[in-house]
């Protein structure tokens, strides 16, 4: 059977492609430009230690072109692509439109081509944001972010929430015969296959490269990319997974705890130890506007349940510490 992986060049997608190939599937990918195919196959071959040569179709989430061709003959679609920039745009629609409209383009093309199931990569961003002071002590898959609460969201978290909602709405209204399962990872760490890596790995590269003087009081749920890829693979065929979302994560860690793991692994590096007081981060954000997006997060924890991941998909996550060391 053939599986389409959208956004094939990405961090999560690359790991997923190798797992799909190992499981015996034929894999086709999409990228915004087909010229990325050669480099992608080179990166995948190097990491796998054997030749990999997947077909890559050009398709952009913002355009109709290419999607019908991409899904043709596929039994499953893994819709992983979504804009994930390091800096948030001024206008949220720059992320919301491609995320939402792109998901709908993929689902519609999948439906028309008789695909059995789409697995979509959403995020904890679609679960734990916009809650204000109503935040539950522990998040699970019944929770949804409130994308209308602008002060407790970024363009990215809004884009993920709106895109996932649109996907479920489409399946409910018009998806007859097409199944959907959704993966909601927390911050994804773990081994990168190339230098041009996902934004999430900055959590590791910044302290490791001495780019941070001290840590803001921020926490993240952490998961290893290999578990995220495995969850996508299992959610594709598990009968019980259809119609469900899955939080994929090991546990929450504060940035200074991440730093402690790095210091132990790399004692020769100047990896920061201290924590910046929140008032100082607020003050610094006047001179450095991108810092503003972390202000609502200071001192906040977003604990989550991974019971469904363990029970339905049978995955016991790799410990966060191992994911940190593997990223480094």
121 binds ligand NDP (CB under 6 A): yes
Least spacing, CB of residue 129 vs ligand NDP, in Å = 12
Is 188 one of the binding residues for ligand NDP (CB under 6 A)? yes
- Contact between 101 and ligand NDP per CB under 6 A: no
Identify whether the C-beta of residue 242 lies closer than 8 Å to the C-beta of residue 181.
yes
CB of 282 to ligand NDP, least distance (A): 25
Q: In what order do the strands lie in the sheet with 219-224?
A: 187-189, 219-224, 251-254
Cβ proximity of 129 and 145 under 8 Å? yes
The answer to the question of residue 253 lying near ligand NDP (CB under 6 A) is no
Maximum alpha-carbon separation in the chain: 58
Q: Does 10 bind ligand NDP (CB under 6 A)?
A: yes
Signed CA dihedral, 213, 196, 99, 145: sign only: negative
Binding to ligand NDP by CB under 6 A, coded x per residue (else -) over 200-229, reads x-----------------------------
Question: Of the candidates 78, 153, 157, 198, which one interacts with ligand NDP according to CB under 6 A?
Answer: 198
Q: Does 139 bind ligand NDP (CB under 6 A)?
A: no
Q: How far apart are CA 79 and CA 82, in angstroms?
A: 9
98 vs 175, beta carbon nearer ligand NDP: 98
Q: Are strands 117-121 and 76-79 parallel, antiparallel or unpaired?
A: parallel
The Cα–Cα gap between 295 and 284 comes to 11
Closest by CA to 194, choosing from 40, 86, 51, 53, is 40
Q: Which is nearer to ligand NDP, 88 or 121 (CB)?
A: 121
User: Does 126 interact with ligand NDP (rule: CB under 6 A)?
Assistant: no
Contact residues for ligand NDP, defined by CB under 6 A:
7, 9-13, 31-32, 60-62, 80-84, 98, 102, 121, 123, 160, 185, 187-188, 198, 200
């Amino acid at each position: 059977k053939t599986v389409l992986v959208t956004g094939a060049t990405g961090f999560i997608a690359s790991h997923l492609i190798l797992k799909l190939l190992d499981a015996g599937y034929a894999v086709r990918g999409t990228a915004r430009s087909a010229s990325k195919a050669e480099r992608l196959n080179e990166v995948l071959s190097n990491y796998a230690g054997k030749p990999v040569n997947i077909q890559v179709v050009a398709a952009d989430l913002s355009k109709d072109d290419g999607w019908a061709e991409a899904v043709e003959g596929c039994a499953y679609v893994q819709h992983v692509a979504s804009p994930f920039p390091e800096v948030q745009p001024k206008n949220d629609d720059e992320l919301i439109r491609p995320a939402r409209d792109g998901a709908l383009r993929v689902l519609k093309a999948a439906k028309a081509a008789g695909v059995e199931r789409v697995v979509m990569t959403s995020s904890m961003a679609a679960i734990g944001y916009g809650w204000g002071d109503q935040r539950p002590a522990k998040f699970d898959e019944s929770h949804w972010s409130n994308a209308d609460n602008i002060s407790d969201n970024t363009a990215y978290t809004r884009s993920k929430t709106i895109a996932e909602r649109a996907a479920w709405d489409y399946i409910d209204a018009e998806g007859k015969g097409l199944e959907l399962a959704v993966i909601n990872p927390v911050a994804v760490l773990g081994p990168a296959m190339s230098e041009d890596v996902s934004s999430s790995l900055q959590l590791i590269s910044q302290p490791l490269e001495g780019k941070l003087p001290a840590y803001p009081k921020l926490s993240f749920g952490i998961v290893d990319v290999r578990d995220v890829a495995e969850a996508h693979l299992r959610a594709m065929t598990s009968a019980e997974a259809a119609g469900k979302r899955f939080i994929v994560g090991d546990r929450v860690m504060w940035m200074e705890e991440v730093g402690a793991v790095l210091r132990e692994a790399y004692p020769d590096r100047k990896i920061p130890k201290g924590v910046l007081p929140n008032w100082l981060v607020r003050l610094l954000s006047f001179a450095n506007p991108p810092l503003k997006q972390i202000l609502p997060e200071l001192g906040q924890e977003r604990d989550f349940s991974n019971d469904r991941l363990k029970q339905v998909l049978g995955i016991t996550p790799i410990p966060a510490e191992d994911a940190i060391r593997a990223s480094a």
